Chain A
Amino acid sequence: MELPGGTACWYGMAFALWVVAALLGLVGRRGTRIGLPLLVEAGCLVTLVAAAVGGDCRFALPMPLYLGLAPAAFLADGLSRWFLLLIGLVGAAVVPFAPAYLRHLERRVSLGVLWAALAGLMASMCLVVMAANAVVFLVAWEAMALTSFALVASDHERRSVRQAALVYLCATRVGTGFLMAGFLWLHQITGSWVFSQWSVSGAQALGPCLLILVGLATKAGCWPFHLWLPVAHPAAPAPVSALMSGVMIKTAIYAMARLFLLGPLSVPLMGPLLLVLGAISALWGVLFALLQHDLKRLLAYHSVENIGLILMGLGLAGVGTSLGSPLLRDGGLAAALFHTLNHGVFKSLLFLGAGAVETGAHTRDIEQLGGLAKRMPWTAACFIAGSAAICALPPLNGFASEWVLYQGFFALARTGPSVVTRLSGLLLMAWLGVIGALALGCFVKAVGVVFLGRPRSHEAAHAHEAAASMRAPQVLLALCCVVLGLLAPVVVSHLASVVRPAGQVGSAGLLWNLPLLPLAVALVLGVLAVAGLVTAGSRRPRERYITWECGFGELGAQTQYTAASFAQPILRLFGRVYSYSLEVAIEGADHRHFPESVVVTTGHEPYLETRVYRPLLRLVQRGAGGLLMRLQAGSIHQYLLYMIVALGLLLWLGARP
């Protein structure tokens, strides 16, 4: 449907709103509580409407605004609109949360700059998913990296935040470097910057595609390039984490789908590669999430997991393309895209919940929390809903998209041409099951330790519920989880039309056959029936008493299970992966019966960091250290010389025929 005034105008309007917000934020210090949030929110809502209702559109800026190499051209087709919808939806939900949340940072953080960066991030994310050629894409990609860096670094008076921001900045530099190299290589081969003209296949495409994959995987936070994610997310303010984890890392998924699966690039290796990376990523993310005690760090590792699940979907689509099976291709893509939206919704919900806990109880260390369900009932209920969604429990949205993924793998097992493909279909289903069970354990741990039981610290005992403007977005997102789950058949059939290659009329059999809605109704009715039965005619006494303590008298909060002890059996099970160690030292004269002290030390070696990345970094440092010192000697004359030489070189390059 064409919106009044043209759909392109609506996107332009959103962009203008964000630019105005960014400028106002940079110029003045006022309006950070109402004015700027309203402007940013308006931009999100306009985008949401345009993406949901408006049709496809393409437009380019007039000649003077060309980017040198290629026109500033934009395209909003089905795939782009799906991601614009995600950006608009999550943005619209997160922005109202921010003003009340940011109040506790007011003294340390310059809120004007923060809102400017936030508006810039929204605008650049929209541009990334609408870019029609590689040059526009890279410019927007860089804008996105820089604005998000500014957001991560907003609380820069804290040392840990500065370090995290630096790690994030390095990750974006490396990622963009690989991406740029890949784009240049493809341009070299095809002579074009336009994505849809990059029809390269076979061995020729492998090199650039691998480079691009590394660049995108770094942004997405896929194993083994995920290191920045658990560092940057806890450092950023909660609404920013919600946006980055829920939306920003998904732009890499968009680019993968656009280039590798829906574009003319054809690399048969890409499908299995994505599948393997995704499978490792998913397991790795959830395993390390179990280890975390910082609520936001835990959620960040779950982003690694969910990106893994999405990549598994994309990988399945790639395998389907090379096997010539439209069912697998469409099923995998639909699962990946559906899960992209779902993860955006429930992950931002969980990050907002973590933010509410942070403001209410002044800590994110889950070992210090407990019993918040009594003090923060709204946040607790929403967090439980989000947890159920991320654990893929029916009838919520997480289940819907994982079900499509399961069906895709089952189709692979059923239609695969060889024993290996058929068996791997079944194995991947079991792999998903293990990941699901681990995720469930992890979120039971998070919910149980944070919201249930007794408070483990003074802060937790005196926590207060978040302001209404922080609760409403959480409730809205929780409702989205339910609605997206129940509307799954509609969403899947819409996605089937999005992922269908142009010209192909009907794709074979991508359908949703699970009667999720009747089953959900049955489940709800069942729960209510049981509840009715239980409360009916109950004149029996319901006594309140202390928790059973074996007759010792009321015990302190320390006797509760901690998060570490909850996760310990699972950690032991996967000890090899963690290189997990547990030592128990019991001391005392008669330490068998009357120990004087019991000290349990657990540890794990982050070998990916210590054995791979650190030596690599040291190598780079050693190689570049001396050179950098000579280049950057602190002499202004030398710098002026560089400028003149660079200018001369550029003039010479430009003047060449």
Chain B
Amino acid sequence: MTPAMLLVVGAANLLLVPAFLAGVMRKVKALMQGRTGSPVLQPFFDLAKLWRKGETVSETATWVFTWAPRVFLAANVLVAILVPWSGVALMGGLPYAADYVYVLYLMGLGRFFSLLGALDTGSAFGGLGASREATLSVLVEPIVLLSLGALALQSGSTDLSTLFSGPVTPLVAVLSGFALLIAALGELSRMPVDDPTTHLELTMIHEAMILEYSGRGLAQIEAAVWVRACVFFGLASQALLRAWPGFENLGGLAQYGLGLAGLFLVGGLVAVAEGLLVKLNWRRVPHFLAFGIALGLLSALVAAARG
């Protein structure tokens, strides 16, 4: 693709796909539960609605509460610009920019502020959610680093654009892909780690953190979460696509199309799984994420043995 085309496609990608993916996932989940569900475009409507609404802010809150969603959103959008989650990266022209260590820590910056925002109101729910989110990230971080590290070892670069353009051993691709998928479920607080639709506060993780947000503040967080979901599911689907050796030889547009299809497939499958699975007891979540760590370790081992 030409740079101009890349820019247009990338921008459209970034503006439309995240909310659309969220809508598709909601729809699939509703169908799994025998409901008609809201329209696929509902997330866009939600965003517009929240944007128009007023805000209620706790008297305890400080500037951290106001600025946390801004940093959270900006960091996640920057991540989405750097990472080729659909096969194209908006900033593909900036060499070495999509370094995955940088990307992870940029997400860490977003997480840091979102956790502080949750604690800022002095609400017990915020504390509960923040504490659990911090714990989850301890388990998710090694999965992502191991599985992306295994892929990076094969291409010889930590830059995600380079990483996803070289040949990959199919076994490494499959192992890393599934490890990333498990990491995504943990990082995005989805079933079976957390139930994104629950409103029983004691079981919530992510929803407890954002309980105090309303109006535009909530809109920013929602948008950031959708963008982050795209990045994580996209990384997993990109890795899984590499398991097919012929993928390398396809043209740019075909790769992009397949990438988008893979992204939606992964999202749809996650939604199907959410219809079938039950939420795990919080104490059992580490056991589930340990599978991801094990897959990541295996992937790293295979990559190191081949390298």
**Closest beta carbon of chain A to B271's beta carbon, Å:** 27
A419 CB contacts on chain B under 8 angstroms = 304-305
Q: With A374-B62, A547-B59, A569-B282 given, can you name 4 additional A-B contacts, CB distance below 8 Å?
A: A373-B63, A523-B109, A527-B67, A566-B134
Most buried by B among A441, A445, A449: A441
Known contacts A371-B122, A414-B156, A527-B71; is A430 also within 8 Å of B145 by CB? yes
Interface string of A445-460 (1 = CB under 8 A from B): 1011100111000000
- Give the distance in Å from the alpha carbon of A557 to the alpha carbon of B217 in the complex: 24
Interface: A392 (CB within 8 A): yes
Known contacts A534-B70, A543-B54, A561-B127; is A448 also within 8 Å of B138 by CB? no
Known contacts A515-B97, A547-B122, A560-B122; is A569 also within 8 Å of B71 by CB? no
Interface: B177 (CB within 8 A): no
- Give the distance in Å from the alpha carbon of A444 to the alpha carbon of B96 in the complex: 30
Known contacts A426-B304, A565-B131; is A392 also within 8 Å of B97 by CB? no
- Among A245-253, A403-411, A491-499, the stretch that binds chain B is A403-411
A523 CB contacts on chain B under 8 angstroms = 74-75, 78, 106, 109
Q: Which of B95, B108, B282 contacts A391 (CB under 8 A)? A: B108
Interface: A611 (CB within 8 A): no
Interface: A526 (CB within 8 A): yes
- Among B17-25, B30-38, B110-118, B244-252, the stretch that binds chain A is B110-118
Q: List residues 426-485 of chain A with CB under 8 A from any CB of chain B.
A: 426-427, 429-434, 436-438, 440-441, 443-445, 447-449, 452-454
Interface: A178 (CB within 8 A): no
Interface string of B145-172 (1 = CB under 8 A from A): 1100110110010100000000000000
- Give the distance in Å from the alpha carbon of A557 to the alpha carbon of B123 in the complex: 9
B112 CB contacts on chain A under 8 angstroms = 387-388, 391, 393, 440, 443-444
B142 CB contacts on chain A under 8 angstroms = 430-431, 433-434
Interface string of B243-284 (1 = CB under 8 A from A): 000000000000000000000000000000000000000110
Of all chain A residues, the one with the shortest Cβ separation from B301 is A423
When the two chains form their complex, are residues B70 and A531 in contact, meaning their CB atoms are under 8 A apart?
yes
When the two chains form their complex, are residues A566 and B127 in contact, meaning their CB atoms are under 8 A apart?
yes
When the two chains form their complex, are residues A441 and B137 in contact, meaning their CB atoms are under 8 A apart?
yes
**Closest beta carbon of chain A to B283's beta carbon, Å:** 8
- Give the distance in Å from the alpha carbon of A386 to the alpha carbon of B159 in the complex: 28
3 cross-chain pairs, A with B, having the tightest CB-CB distances, nearest first: A561-B127, A448-B119, A453-B122
Interface string of B48-59 (1 = CB under 8 A from A): 000011111111
Of all chain B residues, the one with the shortest Cβ separation from A388 is B112
When the two chains form their complex, are residues B124 and A559 in contact, meaning their CB atoms are under 8 A apart?
yes
A573 CB contacts on chain B under 8 angstroms = 135, 138-139, 286
Known contacts A391-B108, A430-B142, A570-B134; is A514 also within 8 Å of B59 by CB? no
Interface: A576 (CB within 8 A): no
**Closest beta carbon of chain B to A366's beta carbon, Å:** 12
Interface: A422 (CB within 8 A): yes
A436 CB contacts on chain B under 8 angstroms = 105, 108, 141
- Among B5-13, B188-196, B208-216, B230-238, the stretch that binds chain A is B208-216
Known contacts A440-B137, A540-B215, A543-B57; is A422 also within 8 Å of B123 by CB? no
A392 CB contacts on chain B under 8 angstroms = 105, 108
When the two chains form their complex, are residues A540 and B55 in contact, meaning their CB atoms are under 8 A apart?
yes
When the two chains form their complex, are residues A569 and B132 in contact, meaning their CB atoms are under 8 A apart?
yes
**Closest beta carbon of chain B to A379's beta carbon, Å:** 13
Task: Number of B interface residues at 8 Å Cβ cutoff, please give it.
Answer: 85
Interface: B102 (CB within 8 A): yes
Interface: A522 (CB within 8 A): yes
Of all chain A residues, the one with the shortest Cβ separation from B99 is A514
Interface: A546 (CB within 8 A): yes
Known contacts A444-B134, A540-B53, A560-B124; is A526 also within 8 Å of B149 by CB? no
Most buried by B among A419, A433, A523, A573: A433
Of all chain B residues, the one with the shortest Cβ separation from A427 is B300
When the two chains form their complex, are residues B144 and A433 in contact, meaning their CB atoms are under 8 A apart?
yes
Interface: A384 (CB within 8 A): yes
Interface string of A559-583 (1 = CB under 8 A from B): 1110001111110110000000000
When the two chains form their complex, are residues B109 and A394 in contact, meaning their CB atoms are under 8 A apart?
yes
When the two chains form their complex, are residues A426 and B303 in contact, meaning their CB atoms are under 8 A apart?
yes
Interface: A548 (CB within 8 A): yes
Interface: B101 (CB within 8 A): yes
Of all chain B residues, the one with the shortest Cβ separation from A449 is B119
- Give the distance in Å from the alpha carbon of A440 to the alpha carbon of B133 in the complex: 11
A407 CB contacts on chain B under 8 angstroms = 101, 158
Interface: B125 (CB within 8 A): yes
**Closest beta carbon of chain B to A408's beta carbon, Å:** 11
Interface: B40 (CB within 8 A): no
Q: Which of A399, A447, A540, A566 contacts B52 (CB under 8 A)? A: A540
When the two chains form their complex, are residues A545 and B105 in contact, meaning their CB atoms are under 8 A apart?
no
Of all chain A residues, the one with the shortest Cβ separation from B110 is A393
- Give the distance in Å from the alpha carbon of A534 to the alpha carbon of B50 in the complex: 11
